[in-house]
Amino acid sequence: MKILVVEDEPALREVIIGFLEKEKYLVESAATYDCAYEKISIYDYDCILLDIMLPDGSGLDLLRDLREIDKNKNVIIISAKDSVEDKVAGLELGADDYLAKPFHLAELNARIRNVLRRKTMNGDTSITLGNVKVDTDELIVYINHVPLELNRKEYNILCYFITRPNHLIEKTRLAEAVWGDHIDQVDNFDFIYAQIKNVRKKMNEAGADIEIKAVYGIGYKLIEK
């Protein structure tokens, strides 16, 4: 899952990024209103952590602008301003949650997981398709109740596809989601082919009844066999 941290305080931003990376999230960051708006308008994020007080504008104004481009989903406001008015304004503008500073990182992680479960998994902690189950709390994939050995990128690839079954996923979108922003600027996507080849081989050997099917010249699609 890819998260954008919009926070202007360098020390706090780095602490949050380091913690979330240890929790196996792919993390991008922005320190200003303009940088955040540019990133969100170009790239997609599974969750956005948004500070209200930015050096070049208000996070609430940013949230209002994101609503105009339909990018105000999965936003958690993190702010030292713990007023009822700010909470109400943020929620009315589309934010999913509000966390006042200072906060424990474990609570932040719990809030993120809760938002992701509500938005992509109907509140569940696991996703099942056919005989394949992805436990997003334990970061484990099971096929016929047997754990499947995957590295981090392989897990992220399968998790991305299984939350979007039967959807055509372009190579650039997959690259951004799993490897991060600006990866779309590379000369070729051979690295994606290699990783997906490994995932397909492991799933096939384990007897999975779903597969990642290549769509020539475009990308991939997860289907049931």
pLDDT score at 120 = 67
Summarised one tens digit per residue, pLDDT across range 42-53 is 988 999 999 999
Residues 35 and 66 in one domain: yes
The residue out of 85, 120, 155 marking a domain boundary is 120
Summarised one tens digit per residue, pLDDT across range 112-134 is 988 888 766 666 778 899 999 99
- Full-model pTM: 0.77
pLDDT score at 1 = 82
Number of structural domains (the chain) is: 2
Q: Residue 219 belongs to a domain with what CATH number?
A: 1.10.10.10
**Could you tell me which residues are beta bridge partners of residue 27?**
3
Residues 114 and 152 in one domain: no
Residues 116 and 132 in one domain: no
The residue out of 89, 120, 151 marking a domain boundary is 120
Q: How far is CA 63 from CA 52, 55, 136, 184, in A?
A: 9, 15, 28, 26
Residues 10 and 115 in one domain: yes
Structural domain boundaries, residue 114: 2-120
The whole-chain average pLDDT of the chain stands at: 90
Residues 186 and 85 in one domain: no
Residues 115 and 166 in one domain: no
Phi, psi of 186, rounded to the nearest 5 degrees = -70, 160
Q: How far apart are CA 181 and CA 165, in angstroms?
A: 23
The stretches in the chain having pLDDT less than 50 are none
pLDDT score at 123 = 61
The residue out of 97, 120, 143 marking a domain boundary is 120
Residue 109 near residue 88, CB atoms below 8 Å:
no
Residues 116 and 175 in one domain: no
Q: Residue 82 belongs to a domain with what CATH number?
A: 3.40.50.2300
Q: How far apart are CA 93 and CA 89, in angstroms?
A: 6
Residues 146 and 167 in one domain: yes
For 175, residues 6+ apart whose C-beta sits below 8 A from its C-beta are 183, 184, 186, 189, 192
Residues 115 and 41 in one domain: yes
pLDDT score at 146 = 96
Residues 59 and 91 in one domain: yes
**Each residue of 162-178: b (16+ CB within 10 Å) or e?**
bbbeeeebebebbbbbb
Residues 7 and 81 in one domain: yes
Residues 113 and 65 in one domain: yes
